[in-house]
Amino acid sequence: MKKEETDYVAWYILALFDYGMPVSNLSQRQLNELWSKILKSFKKFIPKEDFFVKGDIKELDMPHLEESFKLAEIDSYKSYVDLRRSPLIGFYNRRLIIRLTIGLEEFFELKAHRDDILRDLKFVFEDLKGTKVSVKDPDGIGEKPWEINEIFYYPLIIVRNGAKMIKEEIKASKELSVDPIFSIPSTSLTYTLPERGKWFSMFSFKEHYIRLSVRSAMVFCDGWIPLEFKQTLINAIYTGGIHEQMRRTRNIQKPLTRQRMRAIDDDILMKLADHIRDMIKTNIDAARIAEKQRFISFFIASLSFLISVVAFIISMLTVFL
């Protein structure tokens, strides 16, 4: 890490494979086969002069291979982006997630980097399109002959301590007698998401800004976000955004306009905002119920212990008095 741990942007490219039909899970053998082809495509483009990163791909062992992402890191030694960590590639069934970590000082150049890196990755995705997985027993029910027809993708960008950046911008606007409406939150659809607190929400003071556009989702964090918050956000983008775009693109009754070929179009964007909010709220509510149950259990256990102590004291008093 070149700078302090607090100064970076985590960037996830969320990709979804469209096999052209509803899909259950690929077999473990098919997963391994497709995973090797994914890595082969990355290795094919990494040596090219204008690819965003150069380096060796190394597979990482996950503890539960049948249920976990296939995972590999690019041990990068050169990139036109200030990478703070080795890029990670994860794949399972239909999801392919690529994580990059860049320096915060490059945040305002992120748009150019985003477009360039998505262009580079598009070469990998185009190379994967048309890939077929083999079937050992065509007449059996265990495996099906899946083929990658299309790959949809959408970036999620998480800015550590990003809420501070927004608040500083709004504060500076006020000091310059400028209407604070002219700040990051008004450049696109932006709203706040609360982070669940513990002990009946007494400490739920964190709020994170989320900015949605047709090009990416950005989270300006109050500090950082916990793992379950990030997982819920990623699942919400997949279910409410990328899956919806895949479903609409499959609708051959409508022409494929430039707008509909985007990862997320304007219509989906508005519904995605509500979907993210609902899923985060469900996560918060479930966590708070669990915390209240733990608190009640702790209270009952403490009360039982106190009653036992009082009963012991009374019994000792009756012996000596």
| Domain residue spans of the chain | 8-160
Q: CB of 101 within 8 A of CB of 83?
A: yes
What is the model's pTM? 0.81
**Looking at per-residue confidence, does 229 or 126 come out higher?**
126
pLDDT bin (cut points 50, 70, 90) of residue 278 is confident
Q: How far apart are CA 124 and CA 20, in angstroms?
A: 19
**Looking at per-residue confidence, does 282 or 266 come out higher?**
266
Query: Which amino acid is present at 74?
Result: I
Q: CB of 241 within 8 A of CB of 264?
A: yes
> Can you point out the beta strands (E) in 61-216?
70-79, 88-92, 95-103, 150-159, 189-194, 207-212
| pLDDT tens column, 215-239 | 899 999 988 888 888 999 999 999 9
DSSP 105: G
Residue 145: phi and psi, rounded to 5, are -80, 75
Listed residue (291, 275, 117, 271) closest to 201, CA to CA: 291
85: which 2 tokens? 């960590």
